[in-house]
Amino acid sequence: MRNLKVIMAYRGTNYHGFQRQENAITVQEVVEEKVSSVLNEKIIINGCSRTDTGVHANNYCFSVKTNSLIPTKNFVRGVNGRLPDDISILSCEEADDDFHARFSCKAKEYIYRMHCSESKNPFATDLAYHYRRPVDIERIRTAAQEFVGTHDFKAFCADSSGKLSTIRTIYNFDVVSNGVSVEMLVKGDGFLYNMIRIMVGTLLMVNEKRIEPSDIKRIIESKDRLQAGNTAQPHGLYLNRIFY
């Protein structure tokens, strides 16, 4: 049996996240159906992450085991020919038997994109968060550095009740501005449920001077979700890269 490592990109607007659900259309459901039809066998794909409803992916990895002898190039062509326009297979390669898209992952990188202007961007209504307030980039950058390191991020988790540990390591948190476009780029060894969106919401509190950059440390130490900011809208979030 072969083990394939597949990279895809998708626009999450029309899907209730990646993971298969009973009463909602998900990326996993659609991809499994098309991959099964190309491989001519019923398969289950193992995804690298559970992205939320409306969240996008620039590079999303899944692994799949198959008895099919299809060449990897033909896999890409065949599956892309059956997928809807908002999902695309970027690459496929042979992987070791023990490779697993989720459990072999060493780190993940996400981007949160904002369109910062009084006027909306009609070409990015579901691809970037429309933020109408002035942005103090240096203030946000200073606050973002408080997240870097190994911390208990319980205050930045929407539901920590089922987690054995809420300790995570953030390797870097960059904020880049290009005119009305602002991107927050964060890389870590893993993320809790809604963690990045809550961090973004908290940084927006800093921008609006409702809290100071130095308050981030206090909020982390509180382990209290009510101390952190609102959960930012999902359509600004992209899974950008997976590291193995």
The domains located in the chain, with CATH, are 2-94 (3.30.70.580), 107-243 (3.30.70.660)
Q: Indicate the average pLDDT of the chain.
A: 96
Tell me what pLDDT residue 164 has: 80
- Known catalytic residue: 52? yes
The contacts of residue 27 (CB under 8 Å, 6+ apart) are 10, 12, 15, 17, 18, 51, 60, 87
User: Within 10 Å of residue 220's Cβ, how many Cβ atoms?
Assistant: 21
Segments in the chain below pLDDT 70: 160-163
Task: Exactly one of 52, 85, 86, 152 is catalytic; name it.
Answer: 52
Provide the pLDDT for residue 161. 65
